[in-house]
Homo-oligomer: A and B are copies of this chain.
Amino acid sequence: MNHPADNPKRPTLREVASAAGVSPMTVSYTYSQPGRVSAEAAAKVRAAARELGYPGPHPAARGLRRGRVGTLGVVLGERLSYAFDDPQAARFLAGVSDVCAAEGVGLTLVPITGAGTDAERVAQAAVDGFVVWTTSDDDPVLDAVADTGLPAVVHAGPHRRGMPVIGIDDRAAAAAIGRIAFTEARRPLVLGFPLDRGRARQLLTGDALVDATFPVTRHRWEGFRDAWTDAGRPAAQLRLAVCPVNRSAEGETFALELLQGEEPPDAIAAMSDELALGALRAAARVGLRVPDDLTLTGWDDADAAVDADLTTLAQSLREQGAHCARVALGHPTGASARHEWHVVTRSTTRRPQ
């Protein structure tokens, strides 16, 4: 009459109950509240379950009745494999997964593709809460998440009603490291993330209207520009090289092109360590000395930044991920939504005079 795709038919709790000679509730309690049943009843149930090959309560049925499924949803606002391609996302997700493991909940990556069906996929995800990795202001997935009514957190932005934002003050941080990166600079460059979902590769100048819908890109750019203009320099001198994806090869290519161009930058502030390390390789290829000919800063203080002795902005994406997970799981947390950051000065920038 109907045929849910369970082949061969999986035994049910009720069948275990009658095989064990107890009521269904006794079986249920054996799995969910072992203290609630006597030792001998539990033994009978376990034996019958083993006999029938009963793997335990059906997750979907349990989830329906209990109202939670024991899984945290993560939305990346990007194609799914982004999670494993972008080192920043990976660090963040490591923090999310730390908490999930500790709480014993699964971590579901929602399959975003950029197609129109993404909202449906969010709505159909069987999860207890959502963590949204920083995305664009106009990402329709954000509304889909909000519509579920589940607890949800956004990392770094954008803001939405009912969804706390967890991250650092990107603008202030960018201004702080920008001041160091651009000391004595004459042709400063920001090596940055995409402006919007279009992810176009482009080169902009500071006086152009930079209309980034990715809040992280926008805030960091504004901070870098603050650093430059607060020093009394004209905004038009500052350029922004937009890399479509956050990979060192991307940074290397773009940096190389500019370093070999008409007005080679003498200071590069990157929005990630990956882009900065790419620029570092480009500098080496061109034969530039760092920091003498070119100063360079990264962002995140990843392991690779330590190895390369890169001046960078230290933040812990892992901690932010953990924090997001705790909040999305409804965990009471006293910690503030604004995380710490600080500038780590190493050998790719000059000592202040």
Please report the C-alpha to C-alpha distance between residue A70 and residue B123 in the assembled complex, in whole angstroms: 12
Q: A81-B94, A107-B108, A108-B108 are in contact. List 20 more A-B contacts (CB 8 A).
A: A4-B65, A6-B67, A6-B149, A10-B149, A60-B64, A60-B69, A61-B64, A63-B126, A70-B124, A79-B101, A80-B100, A80-B101, A83-B97, A84-B94, A101-B112, A106-B108, A106-B109, A106-B125, A107-B111, A249-B303
A–B Cβ pairs within 8 angstroms, 9 of them: A6-B149, A61-B64, A71-B125, A71-B126, A80-B97, A83-B97, A84-B97, A90-B90, A101-B113
Q: Is the CB of B147 within 8 A of A55?
A: yes
Bitwise interface map of A from 118 to 144 toward B, beta carbon under 8 Å scored 1, else 0: 001101111100000000000000001
Please report the C-alpha to C-alpha distance between residue A90 and residue B59 in the assembled complex, in whole angstroms: 27
Which residue of the partner chain, among B59, B98, B112, B120, contacts A56 with CB atoms under 8 Å? B120
Within 8 A of B (CB), among A50-78: 53, 55-71, 73
Q: Is the CB of B71 within 8 A of A5?
A: no
Interface residue tally of chain A, by bracket?
A: 35 or more
Q: Is the CB of B107 within 8 A of A109?
A: yes
Q: Does A105 make an interface contact (CB < 8 A)?
A: yes
**Chain B neighbourhood of A8, CB < 8 A:** 149
Q: Does A110 make an interface contact (CB < 8 A)?
A: yes
Q: Is the CB of B56 within 8 A of A124?
A: yes
Which residue of the partner chain, among B83, B109, B124, contacts A62 with CB atoms under 8 Å? B124
Which residue of the partner chain, among B56, B63, B81, B110, contacts A63 with CB atoms under 8 Å? B63
Chain A residues within CB distance 8 Å of chain B: 3-6, 8, 10, 53, 55-71, 73, 79-81, 83-85, 90-91, 93-95, 97-98, 100-113, 117, 120-121, 123-127, 144, 147-149, 249, 303
Interface of A is mostly: mixed
Q: Is the CB of A125 within 8 A of B67?
A: no
Which residue of the partner chain, among B84, B117, B249, contacts A84 with CB atoms under 8 Å? B84
Per assembly, the copies of the chain total: 2
**Chain B neighbourhood of A100, CB < 8 A:** 80, 109, 111
**Chain B neighbourhood of A126, CB < 8 A:** 59-60, 63, 69-71, 126
Q: Is the CB of A53 within 8 A of B149?
A: yes
**Chain B neighbourhood of A249, CB < 8 A:** 303
**Chain B neighbourhood of A63, CB < 8 A:** 60, 63-64, 126
**Chain B neighbourhood of A67, CB < 8 A:** 3-6
Please report the C-alpha to C-alpha distance between residue A249 and residue B304 in the assembled complex, in whole angstroms: 11
Which 10 A-B residue pairs are closest in the complex by CB-CB distance?
A: A4-B67, A59-B126, A60-B63, A80-B101, A56-B123, A80-B97, A84-B94, A60-B64, A84-B90, A81-B94
